[in-house]
Amino acid sequence: DVKVTQSSRYLVKRTGEKVFLECVQDMDHENMFWYRQDPGLGLRLIYFSYDVKMKEKGDIPEGYSVSREKKERFSLILESASTNQTSMYLCASSLSGPSGANVLTFGAGSRLTVL
Amino acid sequence: AQSVAQPEDQVNVAEGNPLTVKCTYSVSGNPYLFWYVQYPNRGLQFLLKYITGDNLVKGSYGFEAEFNKSQTSFHLKKPSALVSDSALYFCAVRPGTGFQKLVFGTGTRLLVSP
């Protein structure tokens, strides 16, 4: 069964801490994405990557950075966590190609609480 | 820029009755449209998509959606709801050309009562 695995389901961090959220996919997908999900706001794209070492800003990149050193792994980094970054974080991946019709496969999510 | 509207925060339906979850969109050119479902404490799962062709698209778990270009809508439907269909449903859109991000709606919670 194909999978997107997020290493931490629940995290509690303190304001100012550096936070790493890890995501690994085993489908050899080119594209990987980080979304955050908040009630009433739906899913908002933070960053995405369409190739190793490539990254693009999404709609809400402020306060976040990403790393993609290997094709299967896409990490989201909060350099200095703040309470407004308390959220559910969802990683996803998809095949590339000329069509935008490729389906995203999501991980189970990482619920981050910043105190 | 593309956008998606899901006008209902919650939809309540009795088991066995038909259900509809509404979605309207705005995008340049021809759209690619998707429905995803999220069960409690889970990631999103793909239900169905419209790319081109027949306006009625069939997907997983007995769900279907109808693409209506004139009304810019892509409503999700099921003829007979199950209690197990209770979940959070997201509509999403992307333009049909180029590498463009997928934009999601705010979600609609479906509650199916026994």
Q: Which residue of B has its CA nearest to A57?
A: B101
Q: Chain B partners of A101 at a C-beta cutoff of 8 Å?
A: 32, 49, 51
| Model pLDDT, residue A99 | 55
Q: What is the mean pLDDT of residues B37-55?
A: 89
Residue type, A39: P
Q: What is the mean pLDDT of residues B39-61?
A: 90
Please tell me which of the candidates A42, A58, A99 has its beta carbon nearest to residue B107. Answer: A42
B107 or A101, higher pLDDT: B107
At a CB cut-off of 8 Å and minimum separation 6, what does B53 contact? none
Q: Which of B36, B48, B104 to mutate to test the interface with A (most CBs of A within 10 A)?
A: B104
pLDDT in tens, B14-27: 999 999 999 999 98
| Model pLDDT, residue B81 | 97
- The residues that bridge with A12 in the sheet, in sequence order, are A113
CA distance B67 to A59: 27
**Cβ atoms of residues A22 and A78 within 8 Å:** no
CA distance A55 to A33: 10
pLDDT cut 90: percent of chain B above it = 76
CA distance A110 to B8: 26
Please tell me which of the candidates B36, B43, B100 has its beta carbon nearest to residue A109. Answer: B43
If pLDDT is split at 50, 70 and 90, which confidence band does B52 have?
confident
- A101 and B99 in contact by Cβ < 8 A? no
How many Å lie between the alpha carbon of B97 and the closest alpha carbon of chain A?
7
Residue A95 CB neighbour total at 10 angstroms = 15
| Model pLDDT, residue A22 | 97
| Model pLDDT, residue A26 | 94
- Say yes or no to pLDDT of B41 above 90: no
pLDDT in tens, B82-111: 999 999 999 999 876 666 678 899 999 999
Q: Which residue of B has its CA nearest to A97?
A: B99
**Cβ atoms of residues B99 and A54 within 8 Å:** no
Q: Residue A60 — φ and ψ, nearest 5°?
A: -135, 60
In the A/B pair of chains, how many CB contacts fall below 8 A? 58
CB of A62 within 8 Å of a chain B CB? The answer is no
| Model pLDDT, residue A102 | 75
Q: How is residue A105 written in tokens?
A: 């496969």
pLDDT, mean over chain B: 92
